[in-house]
Amino acid sequence: MDLKAAFKEASDRLEQQKGASGIGSTDSLVDRLGDIKDKASSGDTSVVGQVQAVITEFQECMNQALSDPASLAPGGGCFAGCASWYGSQVSSKLGRVKGEADTLSATFTELADDVSGLMPQLSSALSSAMPVITQQVKELVGLPGEIMKVIENCDMSMESIAKIDLSGIESSLDVSPINQPLDSLTDAKGTIGPVIEKVEAGLQSLNAFAKKAPNQVKKAFDIAPCLPMTTYAPPAMKTMLEKLKMLESLDLTPLITLLSSTNKEMKSFNADMIKNPLNKFSEFAKGETQSLTDKVSTAKQAAQAREFLQSGVAALGKLIDFDRLASTVMRLKDKDAGTT
């Protein structure tokens, strides 16, 4: 039996099985999980808290103004004597803006809590899962090479054969450690996906509000032609527009992009796309490894028998003086010849 040839054939079959099982494609899936982890770890969600703070300031400004409608009117001009009427007209128009602001405030109060834990939760789940998954994939993908490393330095002597150890390779074929990490990612997918979608919807609503609210505020104060807002803008209107400008200046694009890409990747994640190829390859590799283990066991037994025989011959040589025995045999033969 050519033990080295057996190892080479097993290595070749394992290399072919990598393609048949689809285990090669798991590398790209693992890389994608790594990308999600990096994004989740470095993603900045602080803008949500900033938005919440500005909305609150805008609400306070509106509440203060609406509690005293007369304060909404500009001083002087044709409305110096009808500030109360003017203020009531503005208040009624500002009601819609206030309603949207109140809705956004409630939404972002909730979102601030969701987002603050969203990315850390995802990052934590991936940080726990990635080392186990990466190691398991790496071990199985590298198995054909590891098989050859076991035998490449064997000179087929009894001592060398006795050192052949496949236990490390056999232990690497147990892919059950990936089940819990992959299951945890599946659970995270189910939890995080809806939250991300809710956050995305909230951010889209905020973007829409920040763009249209300034015009709504201006139109609310545009009550009479004799008082153009470009010339006689009331202090309350200026303050509201300043707060809205602050809101609009907050760049939500990076966060929206981060959440959208993360949500897309998590939706496409399927644990079975990693589990199934690894299990299929592992089962095939177990058969190949068992066959090699049997051949190694046979080789070790043969080597031990050879050593035992060599030891027996050597021991027998110490007990018998073969030179003297040969000499005695020759003398007896000569004697027999003379007698004849």
Structure tokens at 196: 């991300």
pLDDT surpassing 60 at residue 221:
yes
The pLDDT of residue 256 is: 79
* Residue 80 CB partners (closer than 8 Å, separation 6+): none
Q: Is residue 26 very low, low, confident or very high in pLDDT (cuts 50, 70, 90)?
A: confident
The pLDDT of residue 285 is: 92
pTM of the predicted model, to two decimals?
0.65
pLDDT in tens, 165-187: 888 888 889 999 989 888 888 88
Q: Which residue did the predictor score with more confidence, 319 or 290?
A: 290
Q: Are 51 and 247 in contact (CB under 8 A)?
A: yes
Q: Give the Å distances, CA to CA, from 248 to 8, 212, 252, 273.
A: 66, 10, 9, 42
pLDDT surpassing 70 at residue 337:
no
Cα gap 105→52, rounded to integer Å: 7
The pLDDT of residue 13 is: 93
The pLDDT of residue 207 is: 85
pLDDT in tens, 256-276: 788 888 888 888 888 898 899
The pLDDT of residue 71 is: 77
Q: Is residue 232 very low, low, confident or very high in pLDDT (cuts 50, 70, 90)?
A: low
Mean pLDDT of all residues in 51-59: 90
Cα gap 247→317, rounded to integer Å: 101
